[in-house]
Chain A
Amino acid sequence: MTELTAADVQANLDTVFVLFAAVLVIFMQAGFALVEAGLTRAKSVANIMMKNLMDFAAGVIAFFCVGFAIAFGAGNDLFGSEGWFLTGDWDFGNLNVATFFVFQVAFAATAATIVSGAMAERTKFKSYFVYSFAITALIYPLVVHWTWGGGWLSTFGEGFVDFAGSTVVHSVGGWAALMGALILGPRIGKYSADGRVRAIPGHSIPFAVLGTFILLVGWYGFNPGSQLAADPVIADIALTTTLAACAGALMATVTIWTKTGKPDVGMAANGLLAGLVGITAGTAAVSNVGALAIGGIAGALVVFSVLFFDRVRVDDPVGAISVHGVCGAFGTLAVGLFAEEGGLFYGDGLAQVGTQAVGVAAVFAFVTVAAGLLFLAIRATIGLRVSAEEEIEGLDVMEHGAPGYGIDTAAGTSAVAHANPSLAGRPTAPQPVV
């Protein structure tokens, strides 16, 4: 039996840590599901849950078969073309391909699930299902290849910095969400003919806040895990992550409180997430004060962004475009300002800012065009939006056969009627109300 060397121990530690981080990121799927359910109406809750469940399932399969190879396989500066179905030889340092894949697929699924919130309450399930495959098979992997996969952005200028994916994950999801919401159109009744914006409140603030906390906890896998090693720096990353989240929540609360006179709970939750998205690019490169600044600015920015998209009549029920797209772009640019090595505020000039800006712009251009074409193609073939009757009634029964809430009282009478044929076709006695 060979002796365990220190290097072996480090390798095992790296594997355990990265897998644990991957699990935290996968748990963010629960966070997204809860936030999206909480901020939308009860009559479509089963549908939003299903979309979150299945964009994970479809996304993982698509990334396994095709996406991972495009993202990380050997190829050219634009895309990988080897390693389909995870075959072939891979070199990820101390991590084997299984560990690396499980970690990366969690990120792919995160990018995919961002979009369901912006398209909630009016998108056909089958159309969303098709989209889920496409984004994780092709759109997201291409952006990954340009950056983390060693492609053109990773060597452009000063080298594009996006440590855990403000642009690669969050902006990809956010801009796809923008195109989805644009091509779908707003929910019925959201914007009146005379230009007023009508609130369509969600059905559960507790879901929204609990979901936000779950996303926060998941982010401890998202950011520190992106070090891809059990290295002391993961503590610094966890710290900047925490500071940015809280600064975001605070500033969003102050901003909406000032603007509307009330500290809106949903907006505060969005603010915490905005801070997290904002720090995700520079979490290993900025100081603690820098993290506070980035989180705080993102928190204020997300409020203005949500109000802006309503003003231009892009209906985003959960603020996904603002939290992930806009704050993802900001967080990426902020690296050029706040990075302790290379940042403008540390006297290193505009070079990094310029590189960051090119990356942000390139991803914006690519994702908006690609997702735009995808949604237009879906709309032209199998349709994208449900009928007006279905949207008004709620998606649960017509898309999935059963409401998310109240199915037991709705269906309970049927069993009695079927058991006693003489009652068939007549109303049964009302169930006792508990």
Chain B
Amino acid sequence: MHLVTAVLRPHQLDAVKDALRGIGVSGITVSEVNGFGRQGGHTETYRGAEYTVDFLPKVRVEVLVDGIGAEKVVETITAAARTGKIGDGKVWVTDVQRVVRIRTGELDDEAL
């Protein structure tokens, strides 16, 4: 089992969510985060004084998948989220050791 995590532009979330639904993903978790990669670090003013915008608002999407599905999920997210401009974000895959469905106690692949 794997966890696919993506950090994306907030505006692309709807497209990614619809695309994931389209390939049969039944659940995702979304959180609002701040971050920077190559984007960011520009100067603005507030009441005449300068400040640096270090962090940009992003969204983090997490999807649990069984082993076979991880690649497809990565491709789907990448395609739906891409705008071609710096700041599109990243997707990565990590191993998951154990998944439990809390309501029923089902384990691992049955819990997905």
A is bound by B: yes
Residues of A within 8 A of B41 (CB): 425
Q: Given A392-B11, A427-B36, does the pair A401, B44 have CB atoms closer than 8 Å?
A: yes
Q: Given A392-B11, A427-B36, does the pair A410, B45 have CB atoms closer than 8 Å?
A: no
Q: Could you tell me if A427 and B54 are in contact, using CB atoms closer than 8 angstroms?
A: yes
In angstroms, Cα B51 to Cα A417, docked, is 10
Shortest beta-carbon distance from B43 to chain A in Å: 9
Q: Could you tell me if A402 and B45 are in contact, using CB atoms closer than 8 angstroms?
A: yes
In angstroms, Cα B52 to Cα A401, docked, is 11
Q: Could you tell me if B55 and A410 are in contact, using CB atoms closer than 8 angstroms?
A: yes
Q: Given A401-B46, A402-B44, A402-B46, does the pair A414, B51 have CB atoms closer than 8 Å?
A: yes
Residues of B within 8 A of A402 (CB): 44-46, 51
Q: Is B53's CB within 8 Å of the partner chain A?
A: yes
Identify whether the interface residues of B are mostly helix, strand, loop, or mixed: strand
Pick from A401, A407, A425 the residue with the most CB of B within 10 Å: A401
Residues of B within 8 A of A414 (CB): 50-52, 54
Q: Could you tell me if B53 and A410 are in contact, using CB atoms closer than 8 angstroms?
A: yes
Contacting B at CB under 8 A, from A401-415, are 401-402, 407, 410-411, 413-415
Chain B proximity mask over A394-434: 1 for CB below 8 Å, otherwise 0:
00010001100001001101110100000001011000000
Identify whether the interface residues of A are mostly helix, strand, loop, or mixed: helix
Shortest beta-carbon distance from B1 to chain A in Å: 30
Total interface residues in chain B, CB < 8 Å: 12
Shortest beta-carbon distance from A74 to chain B in Å: 46
Total interface residues in chain A, CB < 8 Å: 14
Shortest beta-carbon distance from B62 to chain A in Å: 20
Chain A proximity mask over B68-106: 1 for CB below 8 Å, otherwise 0:
000000000000000000000000000000000000000
In angstroms, Cα B41 to Cα A417, docked, is 12
Shortest beta-carbon distance from B34 to chain A in Å: 8
Residues of A within 8 A of B44 (CB): 397, 401-402, 411
Q: Could you tell me if A428 and B54 are in contact, using CB atoms closer than 8 angstroms?
A: yes
Residues of A within 8 A of B54 (CB): 410, 413-414, 427-428
In angstroms, Cα B45 to Cα A206, docked, is 30
Shortest beta-carbon distance from B53 to chain A in Å: 6
Shortest beta-carbon distance from B46 to chain A in Å: 4
Q: Could you tell me if A411 and B46 are in contact, using CB atoms closer than 8 angstroms?
A: yes
Q: Considering only CB atoms, which chain B residue lies closest to A428 in the complex?
A: B54
Shortest beta-carbon distance from B40 to chain A in Å: 10
In angstroms, Cα B54 to Cα A417, docked, is 11
Residues of B within 8 A of A407 (CB): 46
Residues of B within 8 A of A428 (CB): 54
Residues of B within 8 A of A392 (CB): 11
Q: Considering only CB atoms, which chain A residue lies closest to B54 in the complex?
A: A413
Shortest beta-carbon distance from A387 to chain B in Å: 13
Q: Considering only CB atoms, which chain B residue lies closest to A189 in the complex?
A: B14
Shortest beta-carbon distance from B105 to chain A in Å: 34
Residues of A within 8 A of B52 (CB): 411, 413-414, 417
In angstroms, Cα B36 to Cα A413, docked, is 14
Shortest beta-carbon distance from A56 to chain B in Å: 20
Shortest beta-carbon distance from B82 to chain A in Å: 15
Shortest beta-carbon distance from A432 to chain B in Å: 14
In angstroms, Cα B70 to Cα A101, docked, is 70
Chain A proximity mask over B24-50: 1 for CB below 8 Å, otherwise 0:
000000000000100001001110001
Known: A397-B44, A397-B53, A410-B54. 19 other contacts (CB 8 A): A392-B11, A401-B44, A401-B46, A402-B45, A402-B46, A402-B51, A407-B46, A410-B51, A410-B53, A410-B55, A411-B44, A411-B52, A413-B52, A414-B50, A414-B52, A415-B51, A417-B52, A425-B41, A427-B36
What are 19 contact pairs spanning A and B, CB under 8 A? A392-B11, A397-B44, A397-B53, A401-B44, A402-B44, A402-B45, A407-B46, A410-B53, A410-B54, A410-B55, A411-B44, A411-B52, A411-B53, A413-B52, A414-B50, A414-B51, A415-B51, A425-B41, A428-B54
Nearest 4 Cβ contacts at the A-B interface: A411-B51, A414-B51, A402-B46, A414-B52
Chain B residues packing against A (C-beta within 8 Å) = 11, 36, 41, 44-46, 50-55
